Amino acid sequence: MPASEKTVLHEEDIHRSLVRIAHEILETGHGADDLVLLGIPHRGTPLAQRLGRIILEADGAGRSLEDLVGSLDITMHRDDLRRRPARVPYETVIPGGGVDGRIVVLVDDVLYSGRTIRAALDAIGAIGRPAAVRLAVLVDRGHRELPIRADHVGKNLPTSRSERVSVHLRETDGEDAVRIVGGADAEQGESR
């Protein structure tokens, strides 16, 4: 049975969500001075870059994008390495000031079971000790397996377990869209 597909966020919806999330991050963190955004590869990294540009436009405080945004590889901290051992690690890039004593905002595309974020918390702990860690996601689809919640959410999308949320970004896929894919083959490839 072929999977059905429904677009739930278009380019302008994604942009509007990111602008709102960026302003929420600034409001809850009291500005950009001690802020670090760490994108979780693959699609969390370009989302963190976009959020960083919006934050710098709103409250630059003389900082550069490289000083604000980085990426955090979680490959070796995942709890499913035994089931799917063949993975290529991504690069971890920590902004110049490090994470110690700073407010770190993890950025990812989809929050599902919470296992990716648990791995990210372990990865951050191996790097340093932030003052606080927050989570920003473009989509929260529910079905948590761990007690993890996002502080900043672009869109809550209640889904069934037989559906998959597919995020497409210009930087990685050539277009901006969020789709819900349903049907018999929807579960393949989803491991959040």
Q: Domain with 114 in it: what CATH number?
A: 3.40.50.2020
Q: Is residue 168 one of the residues assigned to a domain?
A: no
Residue 181 domain flag: no
pTM for the full predicted model: 0.90
User: Can you name the residues that pair with 65 across neighbouring β-strands?
Assistant: none
CA distance 187 to 90: 24
Domain housing 133: 11-81+90-159
pLDDT at 183: 59
* Residue 71 belongs to some domain of the structure: yes
Number of domains in the chain: 1
Distance CA 69, CA 104 (A): 10
- The pLDDT of 59-80, averaged and rounded, is 86
Q: How many C-beta atoms surround the C-beta of residue 174 within 10 A?
A: 8
What does the pLDDT average to over 53-79? 89
